Amino acid sequence: MTTAQLGGHAALVQNLHGRGLLDDTWRRVWDAVPRIPFIPARAWRQDPDGCTLLASPAERRALIHSDEPVVIQLDDGAENGPGIATSSNSQPSMVARSLGLLQVEDDARVLEIGTASGYVAALLSERLGEERVFSIELDPALAAHAEAALHAADYRPNLRCGDGEPGWPEAAPFDRLLATCALRRVPQAYVDQVRPGGLIVAPLAREFWSGALVQFTVQGDGTATGRFHGGASYMPMRSHRVVDGAPVDSGTARNRQTRLGTAAVLHLAFALWAGTRLPGVRLWHSDGPAGVQVWAQHPDGSAATAVAGDVWEYGPRELWAEIERAHRDYVDLGSPAAEGFGLTASPEGEYLWLHGPGNVLAPVLEPAGR
pLDDT over 90 (residue 1): no
Are the CB atoms for 129 and 85 separated by under 8 Å? no
Short-list 101, 96, 111, CA closest to 157: 111
Percent of the chain residues topping a pLDDT of 70: 96
Q: Which amino acid, one-letter code, is at 121?
A: A
**233 among known catalytic residues:** no
Using the CB atoms, write b or e for 212-241: b if 16+ within 10 Å.
bbbbbebbeeebbbbbbbebbbbbbbeeee
pLDDT of residue 48: 79
pLDDT of 349 strictly over 60:
yes
Q: Is the pLDDT of residue 14 over 90?
A: yes
Give me the sign of the Cα torsion angle 286, 288, 292, 296. negative
Confidence band (pLDDT; 50, 70, 90) for 4? low
What is the band of 149 on the pLDDT scale with cuts at 50, 70, 90? very high
Catalytic residue among 87, 90, 125, 210: 90
List, in order, residues 6 or more apart from 363 with CB less than 8 Å away.
276, 277, 278, 279
In whole angstroms, what is the distance from residue 30 CA to residue 39 CA?
A: 16
Q: Among 217, 201, 189, 338, which residue's Cα sits nearest to residue 275?
A: 338
Q: Any bridge partners for residue 295, and if so which?
A: 284, 305
Q: What is the pLDDT of residue 367?
A: 34
Separation CA 108–CA 220 (nearest Å): 18
For residue 365, pLDDT over 50 is answered with no
pLDDT tens digits, 237-280:
888 777 777 788 889 999 999 999 999 999 999 999 999 889 88
Cα 209 from Cα 36, distance rounded (Å): 32
pLDDT the model gives residue 50? 87
pLDDT confidence bin for 337, thresholds 50/70/90 = very high
Residues 13-18, mean pLDDT to the nearest whole number: 97
What would the mean pLDDT of 12-32 be, rounded to a whole number?
98
Predicted local confidence at residue 271, as pLDDT? 93
Residue 213: is its pLDDT beyond 90?
Answer: yes
Report d(CA 296, CA 319) in Å as an integer. Answer: 8
The rounded mean pLDDT for the chain is 92
What pLDDT shows up at residue 210?
75
148-152 mean pLDDT: 98
Are 157 and 124 in contact by the 8 Å Cβ rule? The answer is yes
Identify the pLDDT of residue 368: 32
Residue 162's pLDDT band, with cuts at 50, 70 and 90, is very high
Distance from first CA to last CA of the chain, Å, rounded?
A: 47
Q: What is the pTM of this model?
A: 0.92
Which pLDDT value is given to residue 247?
82
Tens of pLDDT, residue by residue over 100-138, are 999 999 999 999 999 999 999 999 999 999 999 999 999
Q: Average the pLDDT over 325-337 and give the result.
A: 95
Q: What is the pLDDT of residue 165?
A: 96
The pLDDT of residue 3 is above 60: no
334-363: average pLDDT: 91
Instruction: Give the integer Cα–Cα distance in Å for 322 and 306.
Output: 13
Tell me the pLDDT tens digit for each residue of 31-61. 999 999 999 999 999 987 889 999 999 999 9
At 5 the pLDDT is 56
For residues 137 and 112, give the distance between their C-alpha atoms in angstroms, rounded to a whole number. Answer: 9
